[in-house]
Amino acid sequence: MANLATIATIVLATCCVPRSSGIDPRGSIEDRLAAPVTTDEAIREIFRVISMETSSEKDDEQLVKLIKEEIVRTAHRVKTPSGSIEAAARRAQRLVTELTAAYTTAIYKSKSSEEAKVNFARFRNTVQKIVDFIKNGQFVV
């Protein structure tokens, strides 16, 4: 027999958001990221939004900001300059690989060739910002 508290929670959760309101019950990406989460979780959430939902340039800006923070954090964990650069580069490479996968999915799901072109341009610009940050090397210990 199902736990009464669990059933009550599910019923309350489904009743709180009217389906006909036209409002996304999940809210904006900022609202979803406002809860205390790690940078890694926030980055993964934005990747999910890019690949599964309609995302915006604002999401890209937030993603670049979070990736920069993650690269700096990774670099600072290693106390030698050469190790710091290597660790940050590996982390950036993994994040760009995941970003590529998210945008590949978004481009594939595009409803028109124009939408696909816009998604590709956003992908290219986002990757370029990350690459420029890495090339700049200001994150080095």
Q: Residues 92-127: pLDDT tens digits?
A: 999 999 999 999 999 999 999 999 999 999 999 999
pLDDT digits (tens, 9 = 90+) for 39-96: 888 899 999 999 987 788 999 999 999 999 999 998 888 888 788 888 888 999 999 9
Q: Note the Cα 58 to chain centre separation in Å.
A: 11
**What region, left, alpha or beta, does residue 38 occupy, with left being phi > 0 and alpha being psi -120 to 50 degrees?**
beta
pLDDT of residue 19: 37
Using only C-alpha atoms, the chain has a radius of gyration, in whole angstroms, of: 19
Q: Which residue has the tokens 């580069």?
A: 89
pTM: 0.69
C-alpha 55/C-alpha 119 separation (Å) is 9
Rounded Cα distance, 105 and 8, in Å: 37
